[in-house]
């Protein structure tokens, strides 16, 4: 970038360099920082709108507080790009979200200015309270400042932390970044409440006070006393004050004078917990982002002048889109089908059904625990709920899956998007663990689509299944170009399929790695080794008959899955051990993700690093057969 365009930013190697800037210099710095953020993300892709919305706030926070001694904690950290530029990582921003580069989120191992890693929402207040306790118990740390958005503060964990922090009464700061926009438009009563705090017209509290002011003096005093007893505080207090916080705001989050004055006052005077309500605009300062419906939350590389994003032309539909269309088709035929999403209607494909049947799709905000139990309640009422949640976020609702769904045998349909490795979002968003934690549950049916056509069939199967909970998992990205059915077929529960027959080795694939298994089989065929390829379809219940056949007729059996150890392969091994077939003579191998958190890269490279490329699959088969393997090539997956 042309350095002459950023004279103030060029003077900042770290936050300490900007603490002597005056207001005009800080304002100019923010302007330069915004432009650099836009140009950086135009080359790398990433989370743009959220970062643009907090530029002035980022500058002000680092100018006022003594980071990294004071701990600045970004909730989710979608908005952390300006923070990274100001904290010594400007020269590496071109590596953002790339293999070996900067994370798209805050990360403790990356910088001392990232005191707490993020990527899942609503954790910042809890972490800030933890740092606060550490400070008060003599640890070498200063004030803790949590920055949380109006979307993230809808989650239950944020309320738990507010409740605890208010009761503790210790000095800490919560910045509520209120931009009236999460990944999708925010929903729920909290959003309405914040809008009332921002509204120029009379609030309900003001209306009530106006009514009481018209009462005779004696009645007015009684009414005020009664209201204080009922509310637990002054009659005009905000809910945050009732929870024990000093509330300041709302203030203009793009006014450097307002931000600096407010933050300095809070820093100098606070004795207990303080919540500062800051109003911002997501995508601020970049017209295409401000005009976008999602405010350019996540973007690919784009042209700065026009805002046009670079999009490759897919040769197959996305799995998410296939699910959304299949579910909408099923819903058109069955009015009892409903759907639940936790703030991700577009990300899960439910926006397709939402457009056609808006009264049957429920966005509960960032609240996965509530989403699961809400779906359980609908299932108990006789409806057919599909609970569509990313694999990485379903982890947050696991207790509810166990106790509120599985234990009661309720027919909730779990659509688990982003199964497997997801690329640039890295380890925090990998869908690695759902196969293991779902197959552990009694009565749970667990399916995984081998291709996009199979996903259509599995969606129809889930819609027809009423005997208990059922889950279908599928990856991020586009399908493989399978022939699509006009309408899904209901699959027989627990039955897999054989897609190719051979003599020497059998591959038992679970999920979307079926295409890599096919490539491995092609390479083995070139060496005269013929392969049977079976698509398990179900991890629970297993197709025992299919497994028995594979073990009986092949010298080696290799299971392959896009999940962590303890998943599908473990289920197969349990069955074989308990049925006495481990001594059958067939060599067994289970291929899973490596037992580590795999850092960001392209999905292809990540799977190679995990030992799951087509070359790795073929090499594993050769090793099981006692034959020489292919030369090692960890970063060059085999291609036909």
Cβ proximity of 287 and 46 under 8 Å = no
370 is in an annotated binding site: no
Burial of 300-320, coded b for 16+ CB within 10 Å and e otherwise, reads eebeeeebeeeeeeeeebbbb
Q: How many CA atoms lie within 13 A of 534 on its CB side?
A: 25
Structure tokens at 330: 């099923």
Structure tokens at 12: 């900042």
Which ranges of 172-318 does DSSP label H, i.e. alpha helix? Answer: 189-198, 204-213, 217-231, 239-242, 256-269, 287-291
121 is in an annotated binding site: yes
Helix, strand or coil for residue 216? coil
CA pair distance 422, 47, nearest whole angstrom: 15
119 is in an annotated binding site: yes
241 is in an annotated binding site: no
Cβ proximity of 498 and 534 under 8 Å = yes
CA angle, 183 then 188 then 189, to 5°: 135
Q: How far is CA 372 from the centre of its chain?
A: 16
Q: Are strands 531-535 and 497-500 parallel, antiparallel or unpaired?
A: antiparallel
Helix, strand or coil for residue 15? helix
152 is in an annotated binding site: yes
Query: Order of strands across the sheet with 384-390?
Result: 361-363, 337-341, 384-390, 413-417, 470-473, 445-448, 538-540
Structure tokens at 415: 């659509």
The DSSP output letter for 89 is I
168 is in an annotated binding site: no
Instruction: Give the closest residue to 58 by CA, choosing from 16, 97, 93, 15.
Output: 15
254 is in an annotated binding site: no
What distances in angstroms separate CA 46 from CA 63, 78, 300, 424, 425, one per listed residue? Answer: 26, 9, 6, 9, 9
CA pair distance 283, 291, nearest whole angstrom: 8
Cβ proximity of 537 and 495 under 8 Å = yes
150 is in an annotated binding site: yes
78 is in an annotated binding site: yes
492 is in an annotated binding site: no
Residues forming a β-bridge with 71: 144
Which ranges of 566-613 does DSSP label H, i.e. alpha helix? Answer: 568-578, 603-609
Q: Is the peptide bond before 541 cis (omega within 30 degrees of 0)?
A: yes
CA pair distance 312, 487, nearest whole angstrom: 28
Active site residues: 282, 368, 396
Known binding-site residue numbers: 78, 119-121, 150-152, 179, 286, 368
Feature table: binding site for Mg(2+): 150, 179
Q: Which residues are annotated as a binding site for thiamine diphosphate?
A: 78, 119-121, 151-152, 179, 286, 368
């Amino acid at each position: 970038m042309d350095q002459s365009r950023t004279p103030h930013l060029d003077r900042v190697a770290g936050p300490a360099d900007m603490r002597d800037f005056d207001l005009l210099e800080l304002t100019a710095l923010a302007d330069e920082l915004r432009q650099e953020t836009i140009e950086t993300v135009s080359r790398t892709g990433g989370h743009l709108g959220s970062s643009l919305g907090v530029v002035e706030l980022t500058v002000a926070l680092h100018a006022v507080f003594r980071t990294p001694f004071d701990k600045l904690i970004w909730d989710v950290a979608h908005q952390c790009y300006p923070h990274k530029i100001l904290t010594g990582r400007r020269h590496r921003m071109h590596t953002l979200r790339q293999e070996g580069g900067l994370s798209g989120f805050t990360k403790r191992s990356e910088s001392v200015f990232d005191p707490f890693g993020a990527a899942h929402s609503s954790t910042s207040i809890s972490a800030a309270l933890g740092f606060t306790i550490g400070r008060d118990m003599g640890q070498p740390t200063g004030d803790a400042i949590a920055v949380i958005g109006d979307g993230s503060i809808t989650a239950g964990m944020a309320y738990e932390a507010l409740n605890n922090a208010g009761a503790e009464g210790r000095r800490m700061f919560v910045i509520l970044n209120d931009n009236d926009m999460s990944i999708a438009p925010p929903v729920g009563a909290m959003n309405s409440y914040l809008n009332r705090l921002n509204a120029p017209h009379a609030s309900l509290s003001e209306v009530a006070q106006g009514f009481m002011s018209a009462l005779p003096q004696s009645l007015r005093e009684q009414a005020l006393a009664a209201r204080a007893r009922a509310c637990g505080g002054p009659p005009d207090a905000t809910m945050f004050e009732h929870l024990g916080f000093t509330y300041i705001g709302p203030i203009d989050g793009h006014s450097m004078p307002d931000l600096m004055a407010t933050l300095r006052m809070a820093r100098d005077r606070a004795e207990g917990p303080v919540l500062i309500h800051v109003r911002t605009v997501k995508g601020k300062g970049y017209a295409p982002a401000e005009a976008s419906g999602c405010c350019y939350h996540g973007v690919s590389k784009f042209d700065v002048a026009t805002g046009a994003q670079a999009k490759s032309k897919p040769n197959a539909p996305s799995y998410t889109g296939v699910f959304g269309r299949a579910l909408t088709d099923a819903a058109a035929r069955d009015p009892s089908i409903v759907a639940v999403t936790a703030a991700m209607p577009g990300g899960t494909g439910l926006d397709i059904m939402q457009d056609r049947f808006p009264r049957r799709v429920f966005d509960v905000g960032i609240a996965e625990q509530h989403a699961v139990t809400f779906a359980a309640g609908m299932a108990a009422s006789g409806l057919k709920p599909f609970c569509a949640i990313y694999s990485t976020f379903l982890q947050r609702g696991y207790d509810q899956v166990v106790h509120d769904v599985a234990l009661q045998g309720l027919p909730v349909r779990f659509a688990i998007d982003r199964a497997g490795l997801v690329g640039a979002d890295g380890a925090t968003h990998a869908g690695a663990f759902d196969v293991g934690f779902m197959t552990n549950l009694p009565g749970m049916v667990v399916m995984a689509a081998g291709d996009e056509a199979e996903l259509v069939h599995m969606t129809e199967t889930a819609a027809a299944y009423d005997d208990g909970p059922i889950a279908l998992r599928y990856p991020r990205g586009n399908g493989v170009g399978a022939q699509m059915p006009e309408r899904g077929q209901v699959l027989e529960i627990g039955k897999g399929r054989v897609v190719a027959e051979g003599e020497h080795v059998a591959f038992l694939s679970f999920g979307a790695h079926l295409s890599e298994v096919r490539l491995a089989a092609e390479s083995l065929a070139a060496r005269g080794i013929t392969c049977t390829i079976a698509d398990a379809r179900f991890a629970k219940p297993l197709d025992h008959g299919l497994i028995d056949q594979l073990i009986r007729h092949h010298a080696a059996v290799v299971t392959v899955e896009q999940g962590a150890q303890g998943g599908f392969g473990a289920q197969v091994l349990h069955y074989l051990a308990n049925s006495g077939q481990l001594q059958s003579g067939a060599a067994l191998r289970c291929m899973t993700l490596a037992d580590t958190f795999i850092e960001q890269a392209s999905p292809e490279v990540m799977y190679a690093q995990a030992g799951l490329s087509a070359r790795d699959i073929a090499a594993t088969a050769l090793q099981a057969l006692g034959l020489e393997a292919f030369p090692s090539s960890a970063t060059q997956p085999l291609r036909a």
